[in-house]
Amino acid sequence: MRVVGILSVIALAAISLSALFLTSEKSEISVKDYQKNGAHKQSPGLLMAPESKRKTQVTEGDTLIIDPSEIYENAAPKGVLSIYPILPHDQYNEHIARAVDGNSNSQYMVARAIFECLRVPNKEYAAELKSRFYNDVELWKKLESDAEYCEELFSLIPPQDIEEAYNTWMSKALKNGHKMALAFHWFENIHSFPRDKAREILENAIYSSDPAIFILISAYYSAYVSEQRDTANTEKAWQLVHCDKSSSCNTEKLYNHMRQNSFEYEFEEIDKKYHDIVGALNNGEAVALK
């Protein structure tokens, strides 16, 4: 049975969908690229199989393909990096007062809330795009869903000010030494950091309260570690850790998907790494990255 790596996370892949939107003024959306890349056909953060094979199918001796929406809820524009099921305006309102007072964790939480809606179209722009691309149902339904998800945050921060607000609060959290803000900064500038510094940043943020750290670590292995089989298995182990800690992911389904789509010896290695990492985290032990 061949392996289909629907959860193969590379640097910035999880935010590629939202990066196609420019909501300032009436900026043009790159719909052609959006359609070509199939981003609107993806469940959050997951790479889909070709459209002809997108439904769950099992063929003896062939590939098992699982619709990723069975693993991750179709939660929000940012996929596996999302704060879902918390809504962005709720997280913003909860933390904005303490952020203004200089609390670095609240500054990071405000930035993460705003990040959810960075380059997401507002409802008016989504409606305009629907009229222009009405035949692509999946596209405009995704646009409408993202716009609705961010509607209340847009009532607090106008869409044209979202990027500036994100940069402001993330910069404040960085200047105040917030560990997860630095990890997120690394992820957004992944090629600007040497491997040793990236490893130090991520190891320091492992015990943050944001489960996104585990997806960032998965991306670290993709970006820096070259041993192919070991890298792939370690990436998948950290993806399972993220799923285990995330409220929007079905760990059992992801676990079974990896087991069914891996050779037995590969899955044994994934499973061992996953349980070793979770055990260490649950015991508050140090976790060293390769």
Residue range 73-131, pLDDT digits in tens: 555 566 778 888 889 999 999 999 999 999 999 999 999 999 999 988 888 887 887 77
| CA–CA dist 47, 45 (Å, integer) | 7
Q: Taking a C-beta distance cutoff of 8 angstroms, is the pair 204, 177 a contact?
A: no
Q: Taking a C-beta distance cutoff of 8 angstroms, is the pair 7, 255 a contact?
A: no
Mean pLDDT to the nearest integer, 127-146:
78
pLDDT above 70 (res 201)? yes
Return the domain boundaries, the chain: 80-282
Q: Cα-Cα-Cα-Cα dihedral of 181, 14, 211, 120, to 10°? A: 70
Residue 288's CB is within 10 A of a number of other CB atoms, namely 9
| CA–CA dist 49, 20 (Å, integer) | 21
pLDDT above 60 (res 47)? no
- pLDDT bucket at 227, cuts 50 / 70 / 90: low
Q: Is 281 exposed, middle or buried (0-12, 13-18, 19+ CB in 10 A)?
A: middle
Residue 121 pLDDT: 85
Least confident of 21-25, 109-113, 140-144, 227-231: 21-25
Residues 6 or more apart whose CB falls under 8 angstroms from that of 148 comprise 123
Mean pLDDT to the nearest integer, 246-267:
88
Global pTM? 0.74
Mean pLDDT to the nearest integer, 18-31:
35
Residue 230 pLDDT: 72
Closest CA to 186 of 168, 199, 167, 172: 199
